[in-house]
Chains A and B, each alone.
Chain A
Amino acid sequence: LAKTTQPISMDSYEGQEVNITCSHNNIATNDYITWYQQFPSQGPRFIIQGYKTKVTNEVASLFIPADRKSSTLSLPRVSLSDTAVYYCLTAGSARQLTFGSGTQLTVLP
């Protein structure tokens, strides 16, 4: 399973766009890139998943360059309720998700 590297923490202000970049230099050809959000004492919540180029849903966008060695989660116009830990994962199958330490995003008023 590919190892991912992401910033330990980030601060932002309400209404700003937040971009969290994840490095996955050893991603395998068949691996997908998945992002989860987790609030304290709750289960991780699926945000977005992609394989290449750009994916957009109602809450976020995921940008994946051609070499797929990194990806960027973009959260438009964050609010205080977006304060959470964000995990970037790569997985060659749905058998085993390997979570790192994640990025603690703090949104300030």
Chain B
Amino acid sequence: ETGVTQSPTHLIKTRGQQVTLRCSSQSGHNTVSWYQQALGQGPQFIFQYYREEENGRGNFPPRFSGLQFPNYSSELNVNALELDDSALYLCASSAGTGQENIQYFGAGTRLSVL
């Protein structure tokens, strides 16, 4: 157990809808990163939040947005869902953004877009 919890575990949406995924970071961690993992592929970096500010973004469109709260929990919002958004969404927390800081992952949220 990493102490990183994600909710919900599974979600089914239809194309065009909006979705919010949630992540609670490990105690003492101030950094949260989000990843998208399509079936059979490695996780792809979406963005990272450090102390409530976005601290880096991968190659994802603006309809992927996020938020980090004062308790360092985080949300990932996806607007105008597309079929290709179907994936496992992973949240990882770390104690900082330095090179030595290990990212610990949650179990993920499985999103299916129909």
Contacts from A to B (Cβ < 8 Å): 30-32, 34, 36, 41-46, 49, 87, 91-102
A91 in contact with B45 (CB, 8 Å): no
Chain A: CB-nearest residue to B45: A96
Contact with A along B13-48 (1 / 0, CB 8 A): 000000000000000000101010000011111001
Interchain nearest-CB distance for A8 vs B (Å): 12
A42 in contact with B108 (CB, 8 Å): yes
Interchain pairs with CB closer than 8 A, number: 72
Contact residues of A: prevailing secondary structure: loop
Set of chain A residues within 8 Å of B113, measured between Cβ atoms? none
Set of chain A residues within 8 Å of B90, measured between Cβ atoms? 43-44
User: Does B8 lie at the interface of the complex (its beta carbon under 8 Å from any beta carbon of A)?
Assistant: no
Set of chain A residues within 8 Å of B41, measured between Cβ atoms? 101
Interchain nearest-CB distance for A41 vs B (Å): 7
Q: Which of B2, B41, B103 has the most CB of A within 10 A?
A: B103
12 contacts between A and B (CB under 8 A): A36-B105, A41-B108, A43-B2, A46-B102, A49-B100, A92-B99, A94-B31, A94-B98, A94-B100, A94-B103, A95-B56, A96-B33
Q: How far is the CA of A85 from the CA of B43 in the complex (A)?
A: 12
User: Which 7 pairs show the lowest CB-CB distances between chains A and B?
Assistant: A99-B42, A43-B105, A95-B56, A94-B101, A96-B45, A99-B43, A94-B97
Interchain nearest-CB distance for A58 vs B (Å): 15
